[in-house]
Structure formats: structure tokens, C-alpha cells
Structure 1
Amino acid sequence: MSDNLDALPARYRLILCDLWGCVHDGFRLLPGADQRLRRWREEERRLLFVTNAPRSAATTRRQLDGLGLDRELYDGIVSAGEVGIAALKGRPVGFCGTAEDRVDLTAAGLELTDAGYAEIACAGLEWHETVADYAERLAEWRSSDVLLHCLNPDRVVIHGGRRVVCAGALADAYEAISGRTVWHGKPYPSTYDHALSLAGNPPKETVVAVGDGLKTDVLGAARYGLDCVYVSDGIHAGEPYPDDLTPGWRPIMTVEGL
């Protein structure tokens, strides 16, 4: 098969497309992204954005509005934040993330507390922070056997050309000291279950995932039994495809961008 999205077979009627690194970089739409989405719409394909953003779908939609993306170009949004919010509603939980994350999770119905919690919603780090800055807090959570819910499995993201550490890296560090962790988002099957449910549960052979994260987008698609288009000029730009990532399975095509 040609490594050209213009040649994407017509049998793929539903596209599960990643956002960060494929459609935008946190500051602006990536070159050609909106034209590609419009082309898919003209081909009468359905499009769901499936993102590891720790925010609600409503907030993610407003962010896309701010970047100038036409809502007519996509059918819906599935975020790791949405999956995590659904799992944590109904009880008080701790919080780790930015002030904006706190406002969003609270608005979405989570009861956040700063003391006496057995679980914590981890949406991420402040933009300038590193995992090392959390060593003391991780140790405190571990000593109290706090269950950490990771609302963004991404380890790093390219934010305006700069690599920024995400919640997934913090969850890795917590697991490294035997902390209990629940992951929400890609590559975990609950996210794909939710996406396909929103789309009316179409046959998997009519669905293709598109993304730039090897251990999230690509691995998630492979494990779930979906075909995948790998966007190579995103977070792993310049890196070869790891042969041991998906033995016996490869993306149907590799493209530099949309």
C-alpha cells in the first residue's frame, strides 16, 4: 500500500485520529491538517478525535475552536480525561495537575480534595516541572498507599516546539516505587471501546487509527485489532520504527504528517 493518505482505502469509514502531534502542537494547527480533515469529510468518512488529553471533551472542543478548527470537520471527541472522570465521579479524590486542569475536572463533576484522599486524579505537571520535582510527593503517596489515576498516559508532548513532560511519566515513576496506578486513555482498550460505541460499534475492519505516539496510538491500535496510520514526524521524529513494538504487525502506512 502506498504511504500516501490520498490512497487510504475507501473501506475505512471511521477514522480515530490523534490530536496533539497530528492536528496541532498546542499553539497552532499543523500545516495541512485542516485540509486533510476536510478531504476526509468530502470522502464521507466519519472522524472521531481520540486524545490522551486529561481534559473533558467539552474543554478539548473549546481549545480546538480557539485554534480555528471548524467543528464541521469532525464528529466527536474521546479524551483520556473523559474516561478518568467517569471512573472517579461520586467520591472525593486528590488532585495533581495545573490550575486549569483543576478547574476543568471540577466543572466536569469531580470532587477534588487536598487532604485525606485514598485516590488521586493525576492530570499532569506544571509546564516547567520535571518528574524529579515530585520525588517527595510520590514517596508520600506511596507511604499512604494512594491509588493514582493517570488521566494522560503520554510521557512527553511537543508543546510549541518544546518537549514537555506529561502525566504518564509521573505514573511511571510512581509504579517504579511500587505505587498502585490505574491508566486511562490510549493504549488501553476502554478508550477504544468508548470511541467505537459512540460511532455505533462499526466492524473493526472499517476503522483505522491515526497517530504519532508509538506506545499509545500505534500500540493501542495493534492490541485492539485496528489498522493504523503512523505519523512519523510527531513525537518520535527521526526515530526508526522499533521492530519489537508490535511483532508480526505493522501500520498500514507511515506518513510524515496529515
Structure 2
Amino acid sequence: MSGFLDALPARYSTVFCDIWGVVHDGGRLYPGACERLLGWKREGRSILLLTNAPRSEAAVERALDRIGLPRSAYDGVASSGEAGIAALQGRPVGFLGTAADRADYVGRGLEIVDEGYSELACAGLDERRNRPEQYGPDLERWAAAGVLMHCLNPDRIVMREGAEEACAGALADIYETLGGTVRWYGKPHAPIYDYALERAGRPPRENVLAIGDGLVTDVLGAARAGIDCVFVTGGIHGGRDFPADFATVHRLGHWQPVAVVAGLG
């Protein structure tokens, strides 16, 4: 149904477009993605890139610059990282993630400490351990101490140039099984949609179209938010069809995406 994207109904004045798995694969833009966004911009639509990236919106924009997406292709970015950074201001917090993410958070005013904290900003895995199960001892210690984990990326995995890569959501899942408490930011949770709608100038939800490749993040979040959605099969799910029982499993009644496409191109 790529024809749906070629002749997008006029009522969709605002597009909430996922980034990783829809616009790029972690290293390269997908063919036709930039052209599609630019085309919608020429039609007068507002494009907000809605992402579970655990980074500030400025850092996301710089990353898109490096990959080659011009800023003229979108109007703004709404990231789970920015939402989490805002929520954690004004008190010391622990940190789990890469040195680059830590520097990003400190640059945005977070007070990150290495001991004596009761809350933890989880951006994802660090540079030394690339499998979630390697974090067991740390997660057990934090859970026993009652540390509140703030998960700034609900994604469990992404595909980076064809290779699977674990994300913060995978660590948060383990943490909850250990009895730890997690506060989630980003899709599919309602606050990120409220934030994105505010960023977009409060358009009516019936005038917003969400586009994403993650069934339990992009698609489920849009459905619960009352926003029409296009499911992109060519991202994290590797060409898999839209599940026939999706609405039943998630208690969405007869909900279906308005279109299922391989990609934006």
C-alpha cells in the first residue's frame, strides 16, 4: 500500500514519524525516506520525528545531520530522552549507558553521581557489555536498594545496519523481574504523545498520522493514543506481516493500521 503514502489524505496535517527503522537503519538513510519527508513538507504538512532515542533532541538532530537527513525534511524532534532529562532535573541520579550519553545528559544539566543515589537514568548498555544478562549483578544490587530506574528508551532491540542491538528496555524488563521499579519514557506510553502533540501545536488527533516499525512501541502507542498509524514492515520486524491478532492481544477492539508498507520509499 505504498500508494497510500503517495496520496496521503489531506486530513493528515501532522505526521509523527519514527526514525530508527523507518528513516534510517542506524547508519544509513533508507532509500526514498528523505524524499518522502521533503515531499510531505512541500504539501504543507508538519513533520515531527517521534523517537525512543535516549538522547536530547539536539543530540538526535546532530546524529541525523551526520547520517545526511537535512533539517528541511522535518519540523522538530520529540525524544524519550528529552522527556526523561526534563523529569530528572534538580537532584542527583545514577547513570547507566555510554560515555556519549552521559556527556549529553550532563550537558543538559543533569547531576550524575556514582554513589549515594536513589534514582538511576538508564540510557542503555555501556561500551563494555553488549548483552543484557551481563548486567545482572548491578541490577540485583539496585533492586535490593530500592533504586528507581528511569528507562529513557523503552525499545528492547534495534537493528543497526542489519545487526541486532539491545536497548535500555531490555535492561528495564530484567529489572522489573528482579522486583525493581521502572518509570518508562517514550512510546508506547501516553506522556510522550501528549508531549509530541504539544510540540506540534496541539493538532486534533484525527489530523495526526503516526508512522513506525515497532509493533509494541510505535503501533501500540499510536493505537492507544487514538492516532491513526502506518505500520512499516521493513524495520525491526524484518518484513513480517501485521499480526492478524494484534488488536485482540492488546484489547484494541477492531483497530487496524490505516496502511501497511515496506518503507517510506
Match of residue 213 from structure 2: 212
SS where residue 145 of structure 1 aligns? coil
CA contact (8 A) 2:239 2:262 kept: no
What does residue 14 of structure 1 align with?
14
Cα 1:121–1:255 shift into 2, 3 Å: same
Distance 1:40 1:93, change over 3 A: same
Corresponding residue for residue 66 of structure 2: 66
**What does residue 85 of structure 1 align with?**
85
Looking at structure 1, the residues matched to 109 and 220 of structure 2 have their Cα atoms a distance apart, in angstroms, of 31
Once the 2 structures are TM-superposed, how far is the Cα of residue 72 of structure 1 from its aligned partner?
1.1
Partner Cα separation in structure 2 for residue 133 and residue 176 of structure 1 = 15
Which stretch of structure 1 is more off in the superposition, 119-128 or 174-183?
A: 119-128
Deviation at 1:203, TM superposition (A): 0.8
Q: How many residues align?
A: 258
2:231 match: 230
> Which residue of structure 2 lines up, in the alignment, with residue 187 of structure 1?
188
The answer to whether the Cα contact below 8 Å between 1:41 and 1:73 also exists between their aligned partners in 2 is yes
- C-alpha distance after superposition, 1:4-50 (max 9, x if no partner): 31132111000000000111112111111111011111111100000
Alignment of 1:24-173 (within 5 A): 24-126=24-126, 129-173=130-174
Distance in 1, Cα, partners of 2:227 & 2:44: 20
| TM-superposition CA deviations, 1:192-237 (whole Å, max 9, x none) | 1111111111111100100000000000000000000010110012
For 1:229 and 1:150, how far apart are their aligned partners in 2?
26
Residue pair 1:222, 1:246 contacting (<8 A) in 2 also: no
Which stretch of structure 1 is more off in the superposition, 20-29 or 124-133? 124-133
**Alignment gaps of 5+ in structure 2:** 249-253
Amino acid in structure 2 at the alignment position of 1:161: G
**Where does residue 263 of structure 2 map in the other structure?**
257
Consecutive unaligned residues of structure 1, counting only runs of 5 or more, are none
Q: Which residue of 2 aligns with 1:4?
A: 4
Output the CA distance in 2 between the equivalents of 1:24 and 1:234: 9
Structure 1 distance, partners of 2:102, 2:234, is: 32
Distance apart, 1:2 and its partner CA: 7.1
Distance in 2, matches of 1:93 and 1:25, equals 31
Take 1:91 and 1:243, find their aligned partners in 2: how far apart are those partners? 46
Paired position in structure 1 for 2:251: none
Shift of 1:3: 5.6
CA contact 1:3–1:254 (8 Å) conserved in 2: no
Q: Residues 30-87 of structure 1: CA distance to partner in whole angstroms, max 9, x if unpaired? A: 1111110111111111000000000000000111111111111111000000010111
| Structure 2 counterpart SS, 1:21 | coil
Q: TM-score, normalised by structure 2?
A: 0.94
Q: Distance in 2 between matches of 1:83 and 1:246?
A: 28
CA distance in 1, matches of 2:239, 2:57: 31
Question: Secondary structure in 2 aligned to 1:242?
Answer: coil
State the partner residue of 2:23.
23
What secondary structure does 2:246 align onto? coil
Q: Distance in 2 between matches of 1:141 and 1:245?
A: 35
* Letter in structure 2 aligned against 1:138: L
Aligned equivalents of 1:253 and 1:64: distance in 2? 26
Shift of 1:102: 0.4
Q: Which moved more, 1:89-98 or 1:22-31?
A: 22-31
TM norm structure 1: 0.97
